[in-house]
Structure 1
Amino acid sequence: MSSIQNDRVWSWGPLTVRLMLAQTAVLVIGLIIVVATAVLVGPSMFYHELVEAGHAYEATGLVHLEDAFRSVILTALVIGGLPALFIAGLLSFYLYRTIGRSLSSFSTAAKEVAAGNYEVDVTSTKLGPEFDSLATSFNDMATRLAAVDNTRRQLLADLAHEMRTPLASLKGHLEGIEDGVVEWDARTIGIFNAQIARMERLARDIRQLTADEEATAKLQLTLQDPGALAAQAVAAIEPAAADKNITVAASSAGPLSTPVPLDPERMGQVLGNLLENALGHTPPGGAITVHTENTPDAVTITVTDTGEGISPENLQNVFARFYRVETGREAHRAGSGLGLAISKSLVEAQGGTLEATSDGLGHGASFHIRIPRTPAPQ
Structure 2
Amino acid sequence: MSSTTTEPRWSWGPLTVRLMLAQTTVLLVGLIIVVGTAVLVGPTMFYHGLIEAGHADAATGLVHLDEVFRSVSLTALTIGGLPALFIAGLLSFYIYRTIGRSLASFSTAAGQVADGNYDVEVTSAKLGPEFDSLAASFNDMAARLAAVDTTRRQLLADLAHEMRTPLASLKGHLEGIEDGVVEWDERTAGILDAQIARMERLARDIRQLTAAEEATARLQLTLQDPDVLASQSVAAIESTAAAKNISVRTMSAGPLETPVLLDRERMGQVLGNLLENAIGHTPPGGTITVHTENAPEAVTITVTDTGEGISPKHLQHIFERFYRAHTGREARRAGSGLGLAISKSLVEAQGGTLEASSDGFGRGASFYIRLPRTTRKE
The two structures have a TM-score, normalised by structure 1, of: 0.92
Please say if 1:3 is aligned against 2:17.
no
TM-score by length of 2: 0.92
Deviations 1:175-219 (A, max 9, x none): 111111122333333322222221122112112212222333343
1:181-220 map, 5 Å: 181-220=181-220
**Shift, 1:147, TM fit:** 0.8
Amino acid at match of 2:270: V
1:88 is displaced (CA, Å) by: 0.5
Give, in whole Å, the separation in 1 of the partners of 2:358 and 2:93.
66
1:121 deviates by 1.4
Alignment of 1:292-307 (within 5 A): 292-307=292-307
5+ residue gaps, structure 2, are none
Tell me if structure 2 keeps the 8 A contact 1:4–1:122: yes
Please state how far the C-alpha of 1:332 moved relative to its aligned partner: 4.4
Determine helix, strand or coil for the equivalent of 2:290. strand
- Tell me how far apart the structure 2 counterparts of residues 44 and 211 of structure 1 sit (CA, whole Å): 82
Contact 1:198 1:334 in 2 (8 A): no
1:72 aligns with 2:103: no
Displaced runs of 4 or more, over 6 A: none
Deviations 1:22-80 (A, max 9, x none): 11111111111222222222222111111111112221222233233222222222111
Quick check: 151-160 or 295-304, which moved more?
Answer: 295-304
Deviations 1:87-145 (CA, angstroms, capped at 9, x unpaired)? 11011011111111111111111111111111111111111111111111111111111
| Percent of aligned pairs with the same amino acid | 81
User: 1:258 matched to which residue of 2?
Assistant: 258
- After TM superposition, the structure 1 = structure 2 runs for residues 228-247 of structure 1, keeping only pairs within 5 Å, are 228-247=228-247
Post-superposition offset of 1:5: 6.3
Any conservation in 2 of the 1:163–1:199 contact (CA below 8 Å)? yes
Label 1:311 to 1:72 Cα distance change in 2 as closer, same or farther (>3 A).
Answer: closer
Paired residue secondary structure (2:4): strand
Q: 1:370 aligns to what SS in structure 2?
A: strand
1:309-324 map, 5 Å: 309-324=309-324
Q: Are residues 331 and 171 of structure 1, via their aligned partners in 2, closer, same or farther at CA, if it must alter by over 3 Å?
A: farther
RMSD over aligned Cα atoms: 2.1
Looking at structure 2, the residues matched to 104 and 325 of structure 1 have their Cα atoms a distance apart, in angstroms, of 48
Question: How many matched pairs?
Answer: 375
Whole-Å Cα distance in 2 between the matches of residues 95 and 324 of structure 1? 56
Indicate the SS of the match to 1:293. Answer: strand
For residues 325 and 84 of structure 1, what CA distance do their matches in structure 2 show? Answer: 73
Q: Contact 1:324/1:330 (CA < 8 Å) preserved in 2?
A: no
The 8 Å contact of residues 319 and 341 in structure 2, kept in 1 or not, is answered as yes
Write the letter of the residue equivalent to 2:290.
Answer: V
Residue type of the alignment partner of 1:369:
I
Deviation at residue 174 of structure 1 after TM alignment: 1.0
* Aligned match of 2:22: 22
Q: Structure 1 residues 332, 133: closer, same or farther in 2, change over 3 A?
A: closer
Using the alignment, how far apart are the partners of 2:175 and 2:326 within structure 1?
29
Q: Secondary structure at the match of 1:233?
A: helix
Match of 1:282 in 2: 282
Give the equivalent residue in structure 1 for 2:328: 328
Please report how far the alpha carbon of residue 356 of structure 1 lies from its aligned counterpart in structure 2 after TM superposition: 2.1
The answer for the alignment partner of 1:137 in structure 2 is 137
1:370 maps to which residue?
Answer: 370
Q: 1:9: how far off?
A: 4.2
